Structure 1
């Protein structure tokens, strides 16, 4: 059975090391620098065999939560881990009083793009890069009741 819970940055670092798509490895310090005392949420998914995935987000302003960084270990893909992390993050953000969630992804992550569209995230902006796979797609979802 999968459990989603608040996690630590050291657990996130362990997961990032397993996910080959991430060009840059992270440290607890690099992650903490990005969070920089913002109101945030670090979620991890786990089961009896260990850590499966993570999702980190933080407040952009009183109404907007930014889903910044997430991933699922290759061995855990295809089992709904990213979907559950997304659902728990959305529920938490709504409970905290946020009105919307913003997230960016890239053409090189088609599974993430499909996940966002399937969960009613809308394309808000396109950030063109020299390498089309590096281009960023900005999404937003209203979560207000």
Structure 2
């Protein structure tokens, strides 16, 4: 049985993990994260499996009522240990404690594991955005917390 730990992290700690997740089409840079989080209440979570960085989840305030789960992922070597679910649970718990009423997430058709996890956790599809390649279609989810 592996030991899983989740804690808040700095952008500097999060970047190497984000940059090692192969599903991101282009590497996320320090300035990308700074620009997205600038002036917003935010949460950066990092997961460790047996002391090794394993996954990341970054979100920020969209409004006083809504939190947006922006980026998340698990390193291929750490998949299958419940890391993504643990990060989702921790983010939901934090968002609820901060007084948010809902969490919004956007994903793409090309990430069926993410879609499955969101549906399993009672996130509802609230909108879709078609693209010429249907794998690129954006799917917008929301969960009341």
TM range (shorter): over 0.9
The alignment of Structure 1 onto Structure 2 pairs a total of residues equal to: 143
> Which of 7, 21, 24 is equivalent to 1:22?
24
Runs of 5+ in structure 2 lacking a partner?
none
CA offset digits 1:90-141 (Å, max 9, x no partner): 0000000000000001001110000000000000001111111111000000
> Which of 109, 112, 137 is equivalent to 1:110?
112
Q: SS where residue 44 of structure 1 aligns?
A: strand
Report the TM-score when normalising by structure 1: 0.95
Question: What is the CA–CA distance in structure 2 between the aligned matches of 1:115 and 1:134, rounded to whole Å?
Answer: 18
| 2:49–2:78 CA contact under 8 A, matched in 1 | no
Change (3 A) 1:49 1:5: closer
In the other structure, the counterpart of 1:99 is 101
Report the TM-score when normalising by structure 2: 0.95
In the other structure, the counterpart of 2:70 is 68
Structure 1 ranges of 4+ moved more than 3 A: none
In the other structure, the counterpart of 1:134 is 136
> Which of 24, 39, 42 is equivalent to 1:40?
42
In the other structure, the counterpart of 2:92 is 90
Runs of 5+ in structure 1 lacking a partner?
none
In the other structure, the counterpart of 1:9 is 11
Deviates more, 1:13-22 or 1:105-114: 13-22
Q: SS where residue 5 of structure 1 aligns?
A: strand
Question: What is the CA–CA distance in structure 1 between the aligned matches of 2:29 and 2:123, rounded to whole Å?
Answer: 29
Question: What is the CA–CA distance in structure 2 between the aligned matches of 1:24 and 1:107, rounded to whole Å?
Answer: 18
- Quote the offset at 1:28 in angstroms: 1.5
